[in-house]
Amino acid sequence: MPMTMSRARVARRIATAAAFGGGGVGLLGVAAVGVLLTEVRLARRTVGGSSDIPPCADGRYGAAFGHRTDRPPLRLGFLGDSTAAGQGVHRASQTPGALLASGLAALSELPVDFRNVALPGAQSDDLERQVELMLAAGAEVPDVCVIMIGANDVTHRMPPAESVRHLAEAVRGLRAAGCEVVVGTCPDLGSVEPVYQPLRWVARRLSRQLAAAQTIGVIESGGRTVSLGDLLGPEFEARPRELFGPDNYHPSAEGYATAAMAVLPTLCASLGLWPEEERPEPARGEGLLPVEQAAAEAASEGGTEVTASRAPWALLKHRRRRQLPAAETTDPSSVTP
């Protein structure tokens, strides 16, 4: 609990600095940063990422449902970095966007039109451009957007307050356009297999601190968050050959499915489609907490949703996951086989 409260205080300071235009809150001393940079250079010799272009998964999912109803398709947008783009897999159906579009179609029993503007290598300062693309004149505003961002902010040492400010502005822009927003917060970079101590400890600390600060910024801007860090961390550490892709950095198809299953309940709940009430179940460790405390606890427990309640409270939820259906699209010309 003391560690959670400490993380909550730091996350609140970062979010406050972001709201007032501050440059950032230093999370590490000069000596620690020197160690981090040395270890990063060593790690990059082993973890180079992938230069492959992610498969394009844009298209309509669940088209068969369109023959059963006169209701219009749902529209799902994706923004963020290489994880949002699905880098590391070779089939469009294996990307997190395709998996979530298919899951949303199955649960809503409606077709889902999916569009992805995520960019591999993107940091949070690219979100303004991505939001402009998503809301470009002539484009239909999505019903809901998913954002996955943060890993590159950590590895490129973007000041955390700056990172949170860009993300919060993106959420506010999408919400102002009438779009629900779900953010998968910064993943646990300490789970990347070729990264060793002390970088592993530093990366985990920075990742979780940014995830907590992101949560505060997103909740106070009208969005919802799902923690991916601790969810992926232990599972990826225990089964790296299965859950990491060939580049040892991006998730494999099974890794993306694990992340998508965690996000799907919150995605559906944002549209009123999830069969659970919007209230805490104490027996499941859920509750109403101060926003910064909920953010800190979520950063330490993967798959945890944080949703705004009456200020200054937030609802901490552990939604039950469901197996994702196979991703299929009616526009095969836009999908890598």
Q: For 201-258, how does the pLDDT look when each residue is reduced to its tens digit (9 = 90+)?
A: 677 788 889 999 999 999 999 999 999 875 554 445 555 444 344 444 567 778 888 8
pLDDT score recorded for residue 322: 63
pLDDT score recorded for residue 51: 57
115 or 67, greater pLDDT:
115
Helices 253-270, 229-238: axis angle to 10 degrees equals: 160
Give the integer Cα–Cα distance in Å for 88 and 53: 9
Helix H or strand E encompassing 16: helix 2-19
pLDDT at 3 over 60: no
pLDDT, averaged across the chain: 80
Bridge partners, residue 289, by sequence? 314
* Closest of 97, 172, 75 to residue 128, by C-alpha: 172
| Neighbour-count burial of 14, counting CB atoms closer than 10 A to its CB (0-12 exposed, 13-18 middle, 19+ buried) | buried
pLDDT at 336 over 50: no
Of the chain, the end-to-end C-alpha distance in Å amounts to: 48
* Closest of 234, 224, 212 to residue 299, by C-alpha: 212
173 or 69, greater pLDDT:
173
Bridge partners, residue 308, by sequence? 314
pLDDT at 30 over 60: no
pLDDT score recorded for residue 193: 54
Q: How far, in Å, are 16, 165, 169 from residue 19 at the CA level? A: 5, 6, 10
Helix H or strand E encompassing 148: strand 144-148
Give the integer Cα–Cα distance in Å for 227 and 7: 15
What is the rounded radius of gyration, in angstroms, for the C-alpha atoms of the chain? 19
One-letter identity of residue 289: L
Q: For 60-112, how does the pLDDT look when each residue is reduced to its tens digit (9 = 90+)?
A: 999 999 888 889 999 999 999 988 999 888 899 999 999 999 999 999 999 99
| Neighbour-count burial of 193, counting CB atoms closer than 10 A to its CB (0-12 exposed, 13-18 middle, 19+ buried) | middle
For residue 87, the SS3 value is coil
Give the integer Cα–Cα distance in Å for 273 and 169: 26
Give the integer Cα–Cα distance in Å for 205 and 208: 5
Tokens for 198, please give them: 């002390």
pLDDT at 267 over 70: yes
Q: For 268-308, how does the pLDDT look when each residue is reduced to its tens digit (9 = 90+)?
A: 999 999 877 778 888 888 899 999 999 988 888 888 999 99
pLDDT at 115 over 50: yes
318 or 242, greater pLDDT:
318
Q: pLDDT-based confidence at 4, cuts 50/70/90?
A: low
Q: Is the peptide bond before 312 cis (omega within 30 degrees of 0)?
A: yes
Strands (E), 95-143: 112-116
